[in-house]
Amino acid sequence: MARAESLLHWYDRHRRRLPWRDAPAPDPYRIWVSEVMLQQTTVAAVGPRYARFLARFPDVGSLAAADWAELAEEWAGLGYYARARNLHAAAKEIAAKGWPRDAAGWRELPGVGAYTAAAVAAIALNEPVVPVDGNVERVLSRVFAIETPLPHSRPEISRRAASFMEQAEARARPGDFAQALFDLGATICTPRRPACALCPWRDECEAHRLGIQDTLPVKAPKAARGAIFGVHFALLDREGRIGLLRRPEGGLLGGMPALPGTPWRAEPWEEAEALSHAPAPAPWHPCPGEARHGFTHRDLSMRLWRADADAIPEGLEPVALDRAQVILPGAMRKLLDLL
């Protein structure tokens, strides 16, 4: 069994300096926000956005009281917008009922899964649980030489992770132990070319002993990504403002500001069919090029048509182009590039 003491000793000397670790004492709000932001988003991208988010919403009360439009604007560009909707809903629930006291309580909040609940509980509440994210899956797959492909190996990885809490050193510092696992996976036990010579668990790692660390974790073949297509419309008024609307709450980019357009579907749109979705009668002209955006399981291709009008019609919000660049999600910003 790898020793928690070895990992914690390494962490005390080599821990990463991250904005959400700067508080004098772990704060459930700061930890929760950071964990939600870090889902499917890199540490480098989250760092500056995290500080800006806290400046705008410094506590759960301010987040709960905010309009969705405010939160959507602040989240623009971070992607995976369902995270923001769930964050907002959970903040309202916390403001009404109080903070959860353990991982089980966190699991009851909107959008909070097993990993996030365990991460907040370990780091902010000192609960003896081990959160398992992609970094931890990789580390433990190698330490225990687990050759069952992901995702089928996850139950065994979770059991192995929980077993560390049988060690007194891990139970005494569950938050530091969790973050030590995160840092080990991010800086030493990396997906390619792990730096085994620097690893505090090198001598206890079964994959290293067998020389198979580069082959683990094994991943099941990915399903083919689907292609979807859409056509959008840029209607500009005499002041150069563009007409935007808000997408429906459900689905991709749900609740986010967007250019009006067709639904996204598996078949490309013919010109006449697409123009039937234009937001107003106007002399529409196609913009050269195509905007492409990748979602988790689908690749989106979008065409853009442009028209000028005296005024933005009812149902659309006139927004200055420089502000549109700030509040639109990344996929929609790519459409602005076609202008």
End-to-end alpha-carbon separation of the chain, Å?
Answer: 59
Partners of residue 319 on adjacent β-strands: 242
Rounded CA gap, 63 and 33, in Å?
A: 11
Contact 10, 26 (CB under 8 A): no
The helix-helix angle for 174-187 and 134-143 (nearest 10°) equals: 80
CA atoms within 13 A on the CB side of 71: 25
Active site residue 270: no
The catalytically annotated residue of 5, 35, 93, 137 is 35
159-173: b (≥16 Cβ within 10 Å) or e: ebbeebbebebbeeb
Partners of residue 305 on adjacent β-strands: 233, 286
Count of Cβ atoms closer than 10 Å to residue 210 Cβ: 13
| Catalytic residue set | 35
